[in-house]
Every structure is written in structure tokens, then in C-alpha cells.
Amino acid sequence: MLRLIGRRLLLMVPTLILASMLIFALAEVLPGDVGRSILGPYATQQQVDILNHTLGADKPIYERYAVWAKNFVTGNWGHSPVNQTPIASTVMKALANSLLLAGFALVIIVPLSILIGVFAGLRRDSFLDRTITISTLSMTVIPEFVSGVILIWLFAVQLKWLPVSATPPDGANFFERLYYLILPAIPLMFLELGYIARMARVGTVQVLSMPYIRTAVLKGLPRRRVIFGHVLRNAMVPTVTVIGSQVGWLIGGLVVIEFLFVYPGIGQLMLLSAQQKDVPTLEASVLMVAVIYMVANLIADIVVALLNPRIRMGG
């Protein structure tokens, strides 16, 4: 197990280096330049050229990458050339916000979707199974900007039960912050619930058809023990893998939710940085999300290995 973890951690290094190169290259093909972003469309070309020169944006890409990489690995992330804000604190604050929202959403989504999925799997083809499948799938296909607008209109504008924005006032404590996250967490729940519940249902149905389950039942084991001791443990393998892969999206892919609920997360930061050609901020943001994504997948793999010894042995 330790070898597995060590090897996966080591693999992160070349992955992150490759990702950073790719981002630099992709930012290069994006339209515009940082000088034009800062000075706007009405500045003269001479003014833009002067600023690009001052910022070093007119140097060759390999030279800019080398300077950035050296500064990044030595912890000198510098300031955003566009906003003049310190990159490290900007990225970390946005990442912390996204982690809080994703964590809050996952705490609701994971137990609920597993419960629903296993419940449906255990009652395969029943009216309840079909009802659960159809309703969760229906929620999944509603885009988050649609469900988000409807939820805000209903709960914040009409009923005034919940705040319209996900950003709490200054000085809010942890629980107040969670209160502000209830509304944005619901569209995420709609999106993820059906997906994870379906995986849990399929896993449960598959495990239930396995010979060892039949054997356990024929041996006269109590139903509760069969379900919790054998079915759940094995049905969770694909579900955990899916949850691991969804963490990356929940951290960095919530651009629509962040814009709609006015939440300063890492998704919004990445989008704005890309639009403004703010490459140092974009690099730092994407690499942080990449690290979270890889760590989440590693944790998912470890959990899967713990659930299924054959994978552990094979690894």
C-alpha cells in the first residue's frame, strides 16, 4: 500500500510539470495579450507595446516559462500583472472557498446518493426503483444555471428563506458560512445525486447477482449482515472511483454556480485569468486544482484498495 501511495505521489511531479507547460502553451494560443487586457481596447498600439515590454510579455515563450517556473517552485508566486494582487493569497483564498463549497456539497451528496442508490438496487425493477431512477436522472439533466436561477427566485426572492449570494458578510463564523452555502449546494446535489446514486445502484445490482452473495444467503446469514458485510463493501468500489473523479470538477468546474451565486471560487478565478491572459494566476490556479484532483483520486484508489483486497494485491 505504501509503495502504491509513494509511486502515485512521485507520478504527480511529471504530471504537474507537463500540465504547467500545456497551460503556458494554451495561454499562448488564446487571443489577446496581457498589455491589451490591462489597457483596454482604446489604448493605442504603441501604449500596449510599451506595457508588454515592461511586463516582459514580449519575450519568447520558453524564456517566460523558465522565469515563471523558477519563481513558482521557489515559492515566489509574485503578483498578478493584471490586478497587482498577490497571486498566492488570491489563489489560496479562492481554493479554500471552493473546497468549502465542494466539501459541504459532498457531505450531503455522498451519503444521500449511496443510500438512494443501494436502496434502489436492493429493490430492483420495483416501482420505487423506477421512481428513484427517473427522478434522479431528471434532476441530473437540469443545467445548473437553470436550477440555480429557479432556486434563487423561489427561496431568496419570493420566500426570502435563504440569502441570494453565497458570500457571507465579513466576520461570519463557520456555521454562518455554511448557511450561505445551502442554496448553491442544491444545484450541485441535483447534478451529482443521480450520477452517484446510479453507480451505487448498478454496483449493488451487480454484487447481488454474484455467487458469493447467493452462498451467504443460502448459509442463512441475516439479510442485514449480507447487505452491510458483503453487498455494500463490494458495491462501493465503482461508486468511490466516481466520487474521486467528481471531486476535481466540484473544486474547479463550478464556474456557473460561482457566477450565479457571486461566490469567489477557484473556477471563476481560472476563467477570468484565462480571459485576461493573466498567465501566472492561471498557472497557479490550475496546478492547485490539478493537485487536489490527483490527491482526491489517490484517496479514492486507497479506499477502493481497502474495500477490495484483490486490487491492493494487484497494485
Partner 1 sequence: MASEEFKREYGQHLVDQVLKGQMTRRQLLVRATVFGFSMTAAGSLLAACGGTSATSTSSPAASGSAAPAPVMGGSLIGVIPPPIVGLDPVTIYDQGGIVLAQQVAEYLIALNDDNSLKPQLATKWEPNNDGSVWTFTLRQGVKFNDGSPFEAADVVASIERVVNPKSGSGALAALQGILSPGGTKATDASTVTFTLDKPFADFPYLVCQSSYNTAILSRKYNGNFDKPTTAVGTGPFMLKSYTAKQQAVMVKNPTYWGKDDKGNQLPYLDQVTWKFVQDESAANLQLQSGAVDFQPQTVFQGSQALFQDANLRVDIYPGSGIREVAFNLQKDPWKSAPKELRQAVAYCLDRKAINEALYAGRSNLGYDTFWEPTVFPGQPTPPERAQDYAKAKQLLSTAGFSSGTTIELTVAKYLENPQLAQLIQQQCKPAGITVKINQISYDAFYAGTATTTPWLNAPMVIVEWGSRPTPGVYAQAMLMPGVPWSSSHWDNKDFASTFNSYMSTVDETKRTDYATKLSGIQQDDTPILVPFFITQLRTQKKTVYGIQGPGNFYCIMSEAFKTA
The residues of the shown chain that bind partner 1, judged by CB under 8 A, are: 30-33, 36-48, 50-51, 82-85, 90, 149, 152-153, 156-157, 160, 163-165, 167, 259-262, 264, 268-269, 272, 275-276
Rounded Cα distance between 256 and 277, Å, is 20
**Least CB distance to partner 1 at residue 227 (A):** 44
Cβ nearer to partner 1, comparing 190 with 261: 261
Cβ nearer to partner 1, comparing 13 with 29: 29
Cβ nearer to partner 1, comparing 198 with 277: 277
Amino acid at 73: V
Query: Considering only CA atoms, which of 138, 99, 105 is closest in space to residue 265?
Result: 99
Give the number of residues written for the chain.
315
Query: Considering only CA atoms, which of 92, 27, 31 is closest in space to residue 65?
Result: 27
**Least CB distance to partner 1 at residue 79 (A):** 11
* Residue that has been written with the C-alpha cell 501566472 in this structure: 280
Rounded Cα distance between 151 and 189, Å, is 12
Cβ nearer to partner 1, comparing 23 with 236: 23
Rounded Cα distance between 274 and 203, Å, is 39
Q: For 144, phi and psi rounded to 5 degrees?
A: -65, -25
**Least CB distance to partner 1 at residue 213 (A):** 50
Query: Considering only CA atoms, which of 256, 100, 268 is closest in space to residue 178?
Result: 100
Query: Considering only CA atoms, which of 102, 114, 108, 107 is closest in space to residue 247?
Result: 102
The grid cell for 271 is 476563467
**Least CB distance to partner 1 at residue 265 (A):** 10
Cβ nearer to partner 1, comparing 73 with 154: 154
Cβ nearer to partner 1, comparing 41 with 314: 41
**Least CB distance to partner 1 at residue 132 (A):** 31
CB–CB of 196/113 below 8 Å? yes
**Least CB distance to partner 1 at residue 286 (A):** 17
